[in-house]
Chains A and B, each alone.
Chain A
Amino acid sequence: MRVWDYIVDLISEVRADWIDWLQDVDLPSSLIVFLDSILGILLILLMVFPIVLIFMWVERRFLARFQLRPGPNRCGPLGLLQPIADAIKIMLKEFIAPAKCDKLVHWIAPVIVFFPALAVFAVIPIGGRADDLAGTGIGALADLNIGILYIVAIGSVGVVGIFMAGWGSNNKYSLLGAMRAVAQLVSYEVPMVLSIMGVVLIAGSMSLGDIVEQQNVPFMLLQPLGLFIYLMGALAELNRSPMDQLEADSELTTGYHTEYSGMKFGMFFVGEYINTVAVAAIISTLFLGGWKVPWNIAFPVWLFFVMKVFIVFMVIIWMRATLVRIRIDQIMSFSWKFLLPMALINIFITAGEILIWREWMTGWEYFPWPFMFVNWVVAAALIIVWSKAFFKLGGGRVEVREVRAGYSQGLGSNPQAPVS
């Protein structure tokens, strides 16, 4: 791992020189902090883009294997250069905007979707705390004490971009996709945040670095229900199958980005991948133990983290390849009637356990094993019972009023709707 150490040293040296130089030219200190963070932004870009390109290739290859086809295999060895070829192609494409679109909104929307996805990576601890950057491995770029709050807040900015894209396109498919997006993403935010609360309760901190250091054993074992709810919510947030209602290419012809082309479409597309990798990274940090390895091994810890991210990513691909789409009303009832009550129950149970653990259980500081069994049994029982009930809830057909009388002749023209 000489090379790796060398790179880490190089980065920290460059950073030190950069700050020295800034101080030499006598800039105000606030500006120095700002310029210093540019290095961080560059680091995120340098780190995230190769990862995203590789994961894009991984997804396409594995999806192809699920579907009995070879997948991309022409560009480079095993088709590894395919994402790069696609990126070059998409950058050379023309930007086409619909004639009557809202130009400003149409242009800004992809940016608003793209950069929050990138910003999540700032707080994710890859190989240690933030100050480890020059030490054992690459750590987090920023170790905020409210890291989780930051992730939740930044993650929900994307909805605005999606709605802007749908609205600004002046296209009915896009608008329908955008309306679905707002309904779905806002609903799933609630159970997602509540499911993280279990982890926060156990760790007693909102800093991602603290959470990872608390995990002597991955929190997945203590929070099976939390992991399940977070994964479901994340699938809905990422608009991946089986919850890709926002795109729904067989219904809405890819929904909110129907009218986008060129790199503007590319930003939505890459943004979705970055989001997926980010969610996989968050899940591995919160539930799978982050960079921590249960045994001592002479191996860079960040590689373990990447492996965990990869496993979560594979699960997401697997679901995408297997399941059919859920209808929009079923998705909404899944969130409000299924995930939300379970998340609340999870918080109550976890809080009770924390109380018992902290107050009365001496000698169990390392890991409260009995609670693991309790939580798994509770999670299994809740999921089984609720799923039986859920699939009976239905939704389904709506009794339609006879509006035909109002404009039975006017199907072609723009009908003035009858006011009820």
Chain B
Amino acid sequence: MELRTQPFVINFGPSHPSTHGVFRMRTILDGEVIVDMEPVFGYLHRGIEKLAEGRTYTQNIPFTDRLDYLSSMSQNHAYVLAVEKLAGIEVPERAEYLRVIMSELMRISNHLMAVGFLTSDLGAMMTPLLYMWREREKILDFLEMICGQRLTYNYMRIGGMSHDIPPEFLPAVKKFVREMPGFIDEYDQLLAENEILLVRTKGVGILPRDVAINNSCSGPMLRGSGVEWDIRKADPYSIYDRFDFYVPTGVVGDVYDRYRVRVEEMRQSVRILEQALEQLPEGEYCAKVPSLIRPPKGEVYGHIEAPKGELGFYLVSDGSIAPYRFRIRPPSLINITVLNEISRGWKIGDLIVIFGSVDICLGEVDR
């Protein structure tokens, strides 16, 4: 007797515990096996790109906070970098260092969340996630110290920062930087040597190197597949050429490799923080910039290595106080375009894990 089976459609989302926001995965399942998957997004669309055309360059900075709200500071950084490139503004030394410190703190915080949510998607009853949050909480405390906010910071300005750091900030961060490698080792031992975690992640959701490049993936997604591409090294912005760090890459391109890359990146971020805190010069925290910036006519693409990948801002100026065109290159959106290819043939549990390993933020995907 031949069993006749029928694939059926099931919607994961828009509100599903592990879609990390409002995201829908319309899957065709054959029993437990994923036959086809179509990502549906746009539930969080706020039209930031259009809104930004009606506001001045400085007024647009809070919008960038609301893109990837888990690493707002990096979004600020990318935007102000693009505007400075467009207007030709020189940034003081101290401000550059502060930006690097903020970006790296943000990267650690983001990767802690990414790894924590990955374990939560694996079904670990929140325990690892809450341990990750303990460290993230410290970083949020630092950022609250400097700008009074814990999620959307709006701290960077065109030409520097909005104000200088308070005196208690540096000792606190130095203590954190001393302690953090120990915590990373501890979590790594707890997680990476767990047989169940290994058997759930190793070889799962393999993203081949050429597929990753063809789909213009970036960030830990791309590096997990073994491509050594980090904008901090490939196209050094800010002052990243002064620091000594290396770009971790994976071998196979599976979920486990992406996880490893994130953990290693946290270690490298701590190294960068160490050096930046040591070298931090005295001086101005912001350049003298007119309150209404009128960049000359032209267009510019400024990009940074955000925690989730290459974050770019493409700005077109017509010489007025507002950008003529404000275009974001969202790493999360471009990274999930490969989701269908890497999740087909895996089971439901794996789909959730693969999706978690991509590490997206819906604020950035939908904009």
Contact = CB atoms under 8 A, between A and B. Distances in A.
> Are A and B genuine complex partners?
yes
Interface of A: 63, 66-69, 172-173, 176, 179, 241-242, 244-245, 248-253, 320-330, 387, 391, 394, 396-401, 403-404, 411-412, 414-415, 417, 419
A401 B35 CA distance: 8
Nearest to A247: B123
Given A324-B194, A327-B200, A67 B18 contact: no
8 contacts: A67-B131, A250-B17, A251-B349, A320-B125, A325-B123, A326-B200, A328-B347, A400-B34
Nearest to B346: A397
Q: Tell me whether chain A's interface is mostly helix, strand or loop, or mixed.
A: loop
B125 A63 contact: yes
B345 A324 contact: no
Interface in B333-367: 344-350, 352
A323 B126 CA distance: 10
B32 A325 contact: no
A387 B196 CA distance: 11
Contact of B344 (A67, A396, A400): A400
A8 B41 CA distance: 64
A324 B195 contact: no
Given A251-B18, A411-B38, A419-B4, A327 B127 contact: no
Contacts of B247: none
B130 A69 contact: yes
B349 A400 contact: no
7 smallest CB-CB distances across A and B, nearest first, come from: A325-B123, A417-B6, A324-B122, A324-B124, A250-B18, A67-B130, A400-B345
Contacts of B10: 172-173, 176
Interface in B284-329: none
A397 B345 contact: yes
A325 B128 CA distance: 13
A415 B28 contact: yes
Interface string B169-212: 00000000000000000000000001111111001100000000
A248 B16 contact: no
B195 A387 contact: yes
A67 B132 CA distance: 10
B18 A398 contact: no
A324 B197 contact: yes
Given A67-B130, A242-B123, A327-B350, A172 B8 contact: yes
Given A242-B123, A415-B9, 7 more contacts: A67-B126, A67-B130, A251-B352, A325-B349, A326-B199, A400-B34, A403-B35
A326 B196 contact: yes
Contacts of A244: 123
- Most chain-B CB neighbours within 10 Å: which of A251, A253, A323, A330? A251
B348 A176 contact: yes
B70 to A, nearest CB: 18
A321 B200 contact: no
B200 A324 contact: yes
Nearest to A323: B196
- Most chain-B CB neighbours within 10 Å: which of A63, A69, A176, A387? A176
